[in-house]
Amino acid sequence: MLDHPATHVTGTVTDLQATGLAKSFGKARPVFEGLEFRIQRGECVALVGANGTGKSTLLRCCLGLIAPDCGQVSLLDQDIAAIKGPARRALRARTGLVGQKHNLVPRLSVLSNVIHGLLGRHSGPRYWVQGLAPAAARTAAFAALDKVGLADLALRRADQLSGGQSQRVGIARALVGNPRFLVADEPCASLDPQAGEEVMALFMSLVKREGVTVLFTSHNVQHALSYGDRILGLQGGRIAIDARAREVSAQDMARLYV
């Protein structure tokens, strides 16, 4: 099933447009090549595919964390390769990343970790630890923690949390800066099924309530079909599925993993 991306345009503004993206590591054959897709404002897109198909690499290319070999990424109306320094940081301040691991700083408090999500907009020692942070930053971070149900643990060390709690703190950190575009790389990969279900439900309810555009990867077919408005399926370095989630069957998804 391969439809043209334009057939799925629902919004009026394109938040992400990838054109002719290719990436390889060393002399190996490209992880992917010739990728073209668009993500409209407010869409929630599930990126699926077998291990090694380049999902995580593609997400990082979309945020400009790694450079593609060729092709172009336009993120929030800006060519990400063409901007550097403060302009690129300003663009990134409007984005967020939730990783496979929570990627919290283990020795710092939960509240400090969430305040770090504001570093794209505010720089300097006052935003390094919660004890020095301005009241507005502490209030915003605490509110974000409250949204993920962890306000009671604000001063607990991050390395004393369970996996599910840590991932929720990671979500709070990603959301505290009110991002326009959010990338989540298998946010439930390190969690047991129960915790994974809870975290995914919470994450999706928050981003949909805030109207954030989301690109997420998942090996959980049900998550992709339930939470994604649209499915992008990678296979053999190409996009094999680009369709609305309700139009994709479990069999279509299973074929991606053959």
Interface residue list for other proteins (CB under 8 A): 63, 65, 88-97, 99, 101, 103-109, 112, 116-121, 123-125, 127-129, 131, 155-157, 170, 173-174, 177, 179, 183
Cα distance between residue 250 and residue 164, in whole Å: 27
The first and second tokens of residue 192, run together, are 């047991």
Cα distance between residue 256 and residue 258, in whole Å: 6
Query: Which CB atom, from 103 or from 235, has the smaller least distance to other proteins?
Result: 103
Helix (H) / strand (E) containing 233: strand 230-235
CB of 129 to other proteins, least distance (A): 5
| Count of C-beta atoms within a 10 Å radius of residue 152 | 10
CB of 15 to other proteins, least distance (A): 15
CB of 124 to other proteins, least distance (A): 7
Query: Which CB atom, from 179 or from 196, has the smaller least distance to other proteins?
Result: 179
Among candidate residues 210, 234, 212, 238, the one with its CA nearest the CA of residue 224: 234
CB of 244 to other proteins, least distance (A): 28
Q: Which residue has the tokens 């209030």?
A: 139
Query: Which CB atom, from 10 or from 123, has the smaller least distance to other proteins?
Result: 123
Query: Which CB atom, from 91 or from 240, has the smaller least distance to other proteins?
Result: 91
Q: Are 179 and 167 in contact (CB under 8 A)?
A: no
Query: Which CB atom, from 76 or from 224, has the smaller least distance to other proteins?
Result: 76
Bin 125: left if φ > 0, else alpha if -120 < ψ < 50, else beta. Answer: alpha
Query: Which CB atom, from 159 or from 247, has the smaller least distance to other proteins?
Result: 159
3-state helix, strand, coil in the chain (%, to 5): 40, 25, 35
Q: Are 154 and 109 in contact (CB under 8 A)?
A: yes
CB of 109 to other proteins, least distance (A): 5
CB of 105 to other proteins, least distance (A): 5
Cα distance between residue 139 and residue 111, in whole Å: 10
